[in-house]
Amino acid sequence: MKFLVVLAALVALSAGSAIPLVPGDNSHYVEGESRYIWMPDGDGKPHLVDLHEPADEEAIARNGANNQYWLFTRQNPTNAQILVNGNANSVANSNYRANRGLKVIVHGWNSNGNSAMNPQITSAFLAVQDVNVIVVDWRALANSNYITATNGVPGVGQFLGNFLVWLINTAGGNWNNVHLVGFSLGAHVVGNAGRQAGGRPARVTGLDPAGPNWGGNSNALNGNAGQYVEAIHTDGGLLGIFDRIANGDFYPNGGRNPQPGCWISTCSHSRAPELFASSVRTNHFVGRQCTNIQQAQNVSALAMLSIWATELFRSAATEYSVYAQDPAGLSNDLAIKIIAIKKYLLQFLFFILTLIVTLFQKYVALFILFQVII
């Protein structure tokens, strides 16, 4: 009996090394080795993900057939018009205009078209340009377990690529005015969409492309997705890929956790869409060209290049370091500032409370072990 009590205490003491106890903290994570990792949903709430969980093959078989395409323009900046793949009337009766540029936004895991990044980036684009913005809602697969969503990404992207080909062929448009933007798993979705469209989109942007299970994956975002492909890395080596994968790879503040204003990995991961939206509105971030990733991590400078904003055509084949402060301090949108500040305060309080509970659990385990031994 005493042996069982001691064993239970030791298990309690060692549990933290197997399953991370502090929500959002991925300091334990080793790529290719760790089974568990915290991932944020569309509202930034961390969820513990089991990277060994089996995929739902039935859900994957439905792949991108359940994609929804929500159109926003300056005529309807907040109320979506639904475009239906293959239904020309849905486009003809909408505010879509072929002579405008086209921006396509794709969310990540455990999110939907209403998740915070979508209106944030949509409003930024519409504030500076009269364009068509299509938000892709792929929640049918994105809200599955992470492995299912990951395995479903190629199909979702291929359906999106086919939809864009149909849209431009049917309603008009110019591939030289098409910009695809995807966050986390959504970055790999737009990569597949761009390749399905023959690499014709003028610009493809991956916002901290998802890292777990994507190393060496042929379906990941790469330079063949468009005429110019870029990746912005903010949580490299944890929730995001750190390696160079695009024509231009940007590493704000070294590209790793913690980003300014963040204490945990999930916050740093979510920095990418916030930084991108701010860059569209302000157009004042500057990247410094680096000869290698090590320089990018150290924010070293060789040549300077203004980054992101709204330009479509780029020419780059290297890494860039970027110094970017807390987006809550960059945006001119007071509502975004307030939301960001509240989110960071809640994250900090949640972190402190969880730490207290964790320390208490370990104290109890040590107390039991001590009592048994003596």
Q: Which residues are catalytic?
A: 184, 208, 269
Contact between 326 and 313 (Cβ < 8 Å): no
The token duo for 127 is: 């504030």
Helix (H) or strand (E) holding 119: helix 117-128
Q: Which amino acid is at 9?
A: A
Q: Report yes or no: 53 and 149 within 8 Å, Cβ to Cβ.
A: no
The residue type found at 186 is: G
- Let me know: does 310 contact 285? Beta carbons within 8 Å: no
Q: CA of 102: how far to CAs of 41, 90, 96, 187, 227, in Å? A: 26, 17, 9, 17, 15
Phi-psi group of 108: left, alpha or beta (phi > 0 → left; psi -120 to 50 → alpha; rest → beta): beta
* CA dist list (Å): 9 to 13, 182, 319: 6, 45, 48
CA dist., res. 208 & res. 236, Å (int): 7
